Structure 1
């Protein structure tokens, strides 16, 4: 019998058991990260959907490698945050999360999805543009670096019904 060493992936709704993973990945992904209490409040918020990407293989148990939080109000949605474990970047995890968000929003007849992204984050910009997002605005000084310098955020939007 043949066993694959390739990881299997699943995107599902987050649970309270995922709190420490969300906090850890966010802390390792952003200079100014959210704490466990922040995530707990968001998981309990009825307007927020939290999806996690879990991977497992024959050699490794299932683990959270990324997540996305989406706030939905009426027929519009906003990505509050998305993060992939630094050790799992460039593996398609961010794309899998975003494609699942878009599928769910389309199913729920959400018209538009917005997000803010650091204008210097070339991998994220490339992903969002490849999915059909377009720049619709800017926020000066929106992000802060470790040295407390301010950077520009692009506001991006996609028409979900047209994607």
Structure 2
């Protein structure tokens, strides 16, 4: 079943931060999310399931490009297609706004995420060696990925 996608607002910052904390060794604070969601250049989308925030994605737009800042799925909702659904909705909305390219970076060792992005048409543009260090004994590269949103 497809989950409804909602536009996140600054007052969603607490639950977004809580969900972010379930998937990242260095979670962002509610204040950081509130500030981001208050910016006109930031778009946050959330997937709701039974009144719970099951996943979210945050993107920042600059001119005709967008950069995915972070994406997370709640542990109880992983492997249910929520991240793919959010990303497809995001790309559709961005395309309608005239955004022509979307970019992201992902840890080299995050194979499920990389597979998801590749399946959605993202391709590797480069790498930043040793970029991801938090929560790791050995730093890993960031894989830079992007895809066109041009119609």
Shorter-normalised TM range: over 0.9
CA RMSD of aligned residues (A): 1.4
Superposition pairs of residues 87-102 of structure 1, within 5 angstroms = 87-102=76-91
The superposition leaves residues 19-47 of structure 1 with CA deviations (integer Å, 9 ceiling, x where unpaired) of 22111111110111101111011011111
Contact (CA 8 Å) 2:65, 2:101: kept in 1 or not? yes
Which whole-Å CA distance do the structure 1 matches of 2:2 and 2:11 have between them? 20
Kept after mapping to 2: 8 A contact 1:49/1:69:
yes
Aligned match of 2:39: 45
Measure, in 1, the Cα distance between the counterparts of 2:121 and 2:131: 23
- TM-score normalised by the chain length of structure 2: 0.94
- Secondary structure at 2:150 match in 1: helix
Work out whether residues 54 and 63 of structure 1, in 8 Å CA contact, stay in contact via their aligned partners in 2. Answer: yes
Q: Which residue pairs with 2:70 in the alignment? A: 81
How does the TM-score come out when normalised to structure 1? 0.88
The structure with more radius of gyration: 1
Pair 1:17–1:44, CA change in 2 (3 A): closer
Question: Any gaps of 5 or more consecutive residues in structure 1?
Answer: 1-6, 57-61
What secondary structure is seen at the aligned counterpart in 1 of 2:22? Answer: helix
Change in CA separation of 1:133 and 1:8 when aligned onto 2, cut-off 3 Å? closer
Provide the rounded CA distance (Å) in 1 between the counterparts of 2:92 and 2:98. Answer: 10
Note if contact 2:10-2:38 (Cα within 8 Å) is conserved in structure 1.
Answer: no
**Structure 2, gaps ≥5 residues long:** none
1:130 and 2:119 matched: yes
